[in-house]
Amino acid sequence: MKLQALLPLVTYPDPVAPHVGSNATIVSAQLEAELHALAVNADIPPVSNALSKFLLNTPELIREANARSRRNGEDILRVVTDEAMSAGVKLVTDRTATSLPLLGDLAANRARYFDFVLIGWEAANESTHTLAEDVIFGSGRPVILLPELVQPAAFDHVAIAWDGSRVAARAVADAAPLLRKASRITVLTVTDEKDLPEDDPGARLAVGLRERGLPAEAHAVLSGGGDVAVTLQENAVQRSAGLLVMGGYGHTRVRDFILGGATDGILRDLRLPILISH
């Protein structure tokens, strides 16, 4: 069965940068997946005639904002098309539009029909942060976050952030297609951050993976009271992992995000490609 990956593209107010298309095609080639690029455009409704009398040029400003969003969408879709052609990745492009508060919800709903979701994360683009949160917690599908300053390397070495929890187990299951292709798997367990369900859950997972024929080894790491997200990412990078797999802690209710510490840290400071599942 051929995998399918969705690439939702923010077009308003700040469009994603062109490198998102390049990174997504690199990962799609590694997944041997068909890439579906979706421009999620803004559709700002017109204000009422009564209100527009008090707001100078409001109808024209709204028309220009909607047109700018569509132009941004077409620009990034052209970039993705060129990158996919160069990489030999099969590509399907599409466009959709909705009101600003529902952009992330629309992307999350579309994502439910795909095996993976690829999201380009940019530190200075809050729209990409919001999109990532909406899709992670609303789609039920695994999301691979792609940082702006790191070109994805081969996912030959995959690190797993493991604490024995339900969401961590879900992430490992969702990452199975990637784990089966990896030549090395490192299970990372932070042992000084919270109570764990057993003495060495990382070692237990590594044994289970090896029994399935996967090349896994476990490492206990210490945060030293620092940021758990930084600890996990730094250990993954130091060990030359190309991808970190982790569970997403938290939930969302009408844009009120309550995130676990590691999840919040990842979404604030992304240092390598991360597959995150909720």
Nearest of 116, 132, 94, 133 to residue 31 by alpha carbon: 116
Q: How far apart are the first and last CA of the chain?
A: 24
In this structure, are strands 33-42 and 3-10 parallel, antiparallel, or unpaired? parallel
Per-residue model confidence (pLDDT) at position 105: 95
pTM of the predicted model, to two decimals?
0.90
DSSP helix/strand/coil, 228: helix
Largest CA distance in the chain: 71
Q: Which amino acid is at 254?
A: V
CA atoms within 13 A on the CB side of 88: 4
Same fold for the pair 3-147 and 157-277: yes
Domain map (residue ranges) of the chain: 3-147, 157-277
Q: Please, what are the averages of pLDDT over each run of 10 residues along the chain (278 residues)?
A: 94 90 95 97 76 62 91 96 96 95 94 97 89 94 93 93 93 96 96 77 96 97 85 94 88 42 68 94
pLDDT at 95: 97
The CATH number corresponding to 3-147 among 3.40.50.620, 3.40.1160.10, 3.20.20.70, 3.30.499.10 equals: 3.40.50.620
| Assigned CATH topology for domain 157-277 | Rossmann fold (3.40.50)
pLDDT at residue 262, as a whole number: 58
CB contact at 8 A, 239 and 157: yes
